[in-house]
Structure 1
């Protein structure tokens, strides 16, 4: 057994975590259950899209000639609503009334907008004739039969599911949803629903983490919180052994009542690291038992969320089969941050989009216990250790928070 690593870099922590993670098993689900899942197999188009030449607008389909001049008067010989098919071939001097999405009739080579015409007694006058091939969406213009439309590892957003539906796909192979256990610890905790007692605080971490995990497409098993009691904590951890991954909050620091590391060992875990060199949330720990990782996050609410974003979410991405890398991008500071320190720090900030650039507004309280600062935050700004006070206009690196990440 290797010795536990201490006070390691974020990059080293992620290396340890991701080395231990493998994607979960695969299952086939109906398209209606595929939202927010991750594809396990490439999807190939079985049809052309669109499956026929069609009109992108309401108007008239006819056979245009390069020499056509206004006014052009044509006989209306058919009408083609969307969802119907016309066998009537259009000849010179004729046209078909056509609608958005309707198939182009044989013989027609263009569509003129309704707004550029006048209709009267079975004829239409075209005031602005169009050229051949104008206003036609051709068969297979979007997707051709045999094209790979989505690849394994891609996230199934509503738009991606809609694309599959447009191609007639009924079922897809996806990675199984991670089942994640969560446990909040601390004798100071009290659940919501009763008047707050002296010396107590309401347990917010369980609710915050559950929301983050549900947003990430996980199944969640939330254990009742436990006080600072070693045996109770060990038993609570053992009750979560039917999950793929466990996240705890509280008890991770150096105080006499910070018991979570001892509890992890008591539950049969090997400790891989303790303390990661960034703020907030330095005293984070990682244990492993079999293939299951145990993340011990800070009990301070905002620090716990930062721990989750930087360490747990990358683990979940790999567990769910995601192949795209997390995006790190330049940001410009839209405000100051006066503190300096030796440790790397991640600031919560609102994203402000200006002249094609991302600016970060850190004008929140940045304390580790200030959960309110996470509400309205879009990104984390990476301030290197020893950097000194952050100045407005300075260029740093940022990464999106949860749902703001572009999948």
Structure 2
């Protein structure tokens, strides 16, 4: 068995970024930039007022109050094109360009207006409430770098830079292949010895959350012909993920059958719980991640291995598993030689940290406990027994984990 870190490194070193596509800014949120973005304009394009008020010369404000002659207006989207002289003021609005000759904005709350005259009733400093040209960004300057996952905030920046289209990495295509005679799809007739296939839908949702495009190849029966035929559908995928069929049972055919089809195994079996029989290899040029059939194992392996793999395919830095400190609400036993990821729930707070409670049954097939959990308690190999109140490490399972 190899360590979790070694397995992660092996997977990531075998993957490269997918190809690119150019898309409208309207659909770019969540996508990964494939190239640096340079601004196509300067923002603001000239000195602008940050407030409603009057554009004046600071030299006219040496004695307060002072009355000035209002000679025009500078609204947003308009301008006052003459040069401001001493003793004059221009009525200006937020976003209005500062007239030539003006160097300060006096907000309207500090003035009183009488026809074409305005009295400045409170002083201010030079340059107050003026947004200088290019203070946000300048034409030709770099706005965003390649590898950035675009947030709604980034979309606003790109729009302001006059960027209507962006070149991004296409969404990696992740082919999901379930295996096992015991599986049927939700809603189909269920035989006396069968169970509902939940893994494909579960992992598919995680793939979408991580920025990939899942393709469900279906359920391969436990025979060579079915598995070989259904695996054909992964030829155009960027990554094949098999669900089940990766352990040592007589009916676990993935290694045997796909080995005949060209599967080259990099590693099989990891010192972790759950997820020990994880497999990684290459099937005729398509990377293949073989995950265990138990749902909890699939979720843990998706967090630890599949999410970073999708990052690497998407052209961004692979994420690290988010680990946070927490406090135990009860005693726990020592751990064995495998890195352990136990289902747990945050039940409160103690000393400023989350208070966590492990589920009493850690069987890796229990979907009810998995659904109720909001964190994994991560334990290192050979971790000692711990008492109530001890500090531990948890992996939050909130929906924001895949990044924003």
Q: TM-score, normalised by structure 1?
A: 0.85
Task: Tell me which of 258, 261, 267 is aligned to 2:255.
Answer: 261
Structure 1 residues 191-230: aligned runs within 5 Å: 191-194=185-188, 198-230=192-224
- Once the two structures are TM-superposed, the CA of residue 33 in structure 1 deviates from its matched residue by 3.7
Whether the 8 Å CA contact 2:75–2:92 is kept in 1: the answer is: yes
Q: Distance in 2 between matches of 1:354 and 1:347?
A: 19
Q: 1:243 to 1:330 in 2, by over 3 A?
A: closer
- Once the two structures are TM-superposed, the CA of residue 367 in structure 1 deviates from its matched residue by 4.2
Residue aligning to 2:182? 188
Whether the 8 Å CA contact 1:352–1:359 is kept in 2: the answer is: no
- Once the two structures are TM-superposed, the CA of residue 376 in structure 1 deviates from its matched residue by 7.8
- Once the two structures are TM-superposed, the CA of residue 359 in structure 1 deviates from its matched residue by 4.2
Structure 1 unaligned blocks of 5 or more: 1-6
Task: Tell me which of 324, 335, 348 is aligned to 1:331.
Answer: 324
Q: Secondary structure at the match of 2:101?
A: coil
Structure 1 residues 99-178: aligned runs within 5 Å: 99-178=93-172
Task: Tell me which of 340, 344, 349 is aligned to 1:345.
Answer: 340
- Once the two structures are TM-superposed, the CA of residue 352 in structure 1 deviates from its matched residue by 11
Q: Distance in 2 between matches of 1:141 and 1:351?
A: 45
Whether the 8 Å CA contact 2:175–2:215 is kept in 1: the answer is: yes
Which is worse superposed, 148-157 or 374-383? 374-383
Whether the 8 Å CA contact 1:43–1:148 is kept in 2: the answer is: yes
Whether the 8 Å CA contact 2:345–2:372 is kept in 1: the answer is: yes
Q: 1:86 to 1:404 in 2, by over 3 A?
A: farther
Q: Distance in 1 between matches of 2:91 and 2:347?
A: 48
- Once the two structures are TM-superposed, the CA of residue 212 in structure 1 deviates from its matched residue by 1.7
Q: Distance in 1 between matches of 2:108 and 2:375?
A: 47
Whether the 8 Å CA contact 1:336–1:389 is kept in 2: the answer is: no
Q: Secondary structure at the match of 2:248?
A: coil
Q: 1:374 to 1:45 in 2, by over 3 A?
A: farther
Residue aligning to 1:3? none
State whether structure 2 residue 384 is matched by structure 1 residue 388: yes
Whether the 8 Å CA contact 1:349–1:361 is kept in 2: the answer is: no
Q: Distance in 2 between matches of 1:8 and 1:23?
A: 26
Q: Distance in 2 between matches of 1:115 and 1:374?
A: 59
* Post-superposition CA distance 1:138-168 (Å, at most 9, x none): 1111223332222222222222232222111
Whether the 8 Å CA contact 1:346–1:382 is kept in 2: the answer is: yes
Q: Distance in 2 between matches of 1:352 and 1:105?
A: 61
Which is worse superposed, 164-173 or 70-79? 70-79
Which is worse superposed, 59-68 or 98-107? 59-68
Whether the 8 Å CA contact 1:20–1:291 is kept in 2: the answer is: no
Q: Distance in 2 between matches of 1:254 and 1:208?
A: 24
Q: 1:29 to 1:353 in 2, by over 3 A?
A: farther
Structure 2 unaligned blocks of 5 or more: none
- Once the two structures are TM-superposed, the CA of residue 291 in structure 1 deviates from its matched residue by 2.5
Whether the 8 Å CA contact 2:210–2:402 is kept in 1: the answer is: no
Q: Distance in 2 between matches of 1:149 and 1:367?
A: 49
Q: 1:367 to 1:136 in 2, by over 3 A?
A: farther
- Once the two structures are TM-superposed, the CA of residue 182 in structure 1 deviates from its matched residue by 0.8
Q: Distance in 2 between matches of 1:313 and 1:298?
A: 16
Structure 1 residues 2-401: aligned runs within 5 Å: 7-65=1-59, 68-194=62-188, 198-322=192-316, 324-327=317-320, 331-336=324-329, 338-342=332-336, 343-347=338-342, 359-360=353-354, 362-363=356-357, 365=359, 367-372=363-368, 382-390=378-386, 392=389, 394=391, 396=393
Whether the 8 Å CA contact 1:348–1:362 is kept in 2: the answer is: no
RMSD: 3.2
- Once the two structures are TM-superposed, the CA of residue 406 in structure 1 deviates from its matched residue by 4.5
- Once the two structures are TM-superposed, the CA of residue 377 in structure 1 deviates from its matched residue by 6.5
Which is worse superposed, 96-105 or 345-354? 345-354
Residue aligning to 1:404? 401
